[in-house]
Amino acid sequence: MNSWKGKKILVTGISSAIGAVIARALLEKGCEVFGTYRTEKNLHLHFPEIPDGLIPISWAAHESPTFLDSSPVFEGWVHCIGAIQPQPIKYLNPKGNQDLFAVNYFSATELASKLLSLKKMQSSGSIVFLSSVSSHYPYRGGATYAASKAALETFSKALALECSHLPIRVNSVVCGLIRSTMLDRSVAHLDQNQEEKLLAKYPLGIGEPKDVANACIFLLSNEARWITGSQLLLDGGLMLNS
């Protein structure tokens, strides 16, 4: 996308710490942002006032994405929805396991399928999924979260292949720890010593939502026109220590 003005971008999960910053960055560029949220309180937490150009859409991942029936055709889609629920494998709760997959994986697959079947993604459009380094380096208690993100990355590559003739590009941003409520939940079960050890693994410190927004904007842009099916590692150097 050379000029951003008036581009219609779908951001699923604008009520997330990261999704809200992505939506604001796109609005600043002059895009029209169609942003989904599930919890109204969280939408208002990030957007006390709804800025011009932002169209909030109420949608929970277990519902069919019927909002697409009346939506415009999008030039881009960034999928930020995600949940984390520590579950040691020994105590895996089947319902919790399925719910986590529904949020982290099936929300993306169903939306992608419907976007394509309704022809709601513009030719030369770009799709970005937010994944996690845990898909490559799982952590104790994070089996389902890590597996759901690994599934999302594999789906992203298959989608890139199936959309290449349109052409629509599809990429994943594989994030390390980003300052957010999800980060607070990820470290909640650690004691102070464990938390300090974890954070010390990041040579550039932990990330900010704006770092993720910058990466997503690059992948949405025409500067990334030859990049598809990739996993952009965004981890502040974490892997250098693995």
Ligand X SMILES: NC(=O)c1ccc[n+]([C@@H]2O[C@H](COP(=O)([O-])OP(=O)(O)OC[C@H]3O[C@@H](n4cnc5c(N)ncnc54)[C@H](OP(=O)(O)O)[C@@H]3O)[C@@H](O)[C@H]2O)c1
Give the binding site for ligand X (CB under 6 A).
Answer: 13, 15-19, 37-39, 42, 60-61, 80-83, 103, 130, 132, 175, 177-178, 180-183
Q: In what order do the strands lie in the sheet with 32-37?
A: 54-58, 32-37, 8-12, 74-79, 121-132, 169-175, 231-234
Dihedral sign from CA coordinates of 122, 118, 113, 162: negative
Q: Which of 91, 139, 145, 202 is catalytic?
A: 145
One-letter amino acid of 110: E
Is residue 139 annotated as part of the catalytic site, yes or no?
A: no
Report yes or no: 169 and 227 within 8 Å, Cβ to Cβ.
yes
Q: What is the closest distance, in whole angstroms, from the C-beta atom of residue 77 to ligand X in the complex?
A: 14
Q: Which residue, 60 or 164, is less far from ligand X as judged by CB?
A: 60
Tokens 């105590």 belong to 91
Q: Which residue, 197 or 225, is less far from ligand X as judged by CB?
A: 197
Q: What is the closest distance, in whole angstroms, from the C-beta atom of residue 240 to ligand X in the complex?
A: 18
In 186-218, which positions are buried (b, 16+ CB within 10 angstroms) versus exposed (e)? beeeeeeeeeeebeebbeeebbbbebbbebbbb
Q: What is the closest distance, in whole angstroms, from the C-beta atom of residue 188 to ligand X in the complex?
A: 12
Q: What is the closest distance, in whole angstroms, from the C-beta atom of residue 103 to ligand X in the complex?
A: 4
Report yes or no: 155 and 105 within 8 Å, Cβ to Cβ.
yes
**Minimal CB distance to ligand X: which residue?**
82
Q: What is the closest distance, in whole angstroms, from the C-beta atom of residue 5 to ligand X in the complex?
A: 26
**Any idea which residues carry the catalytic annotation?**
145
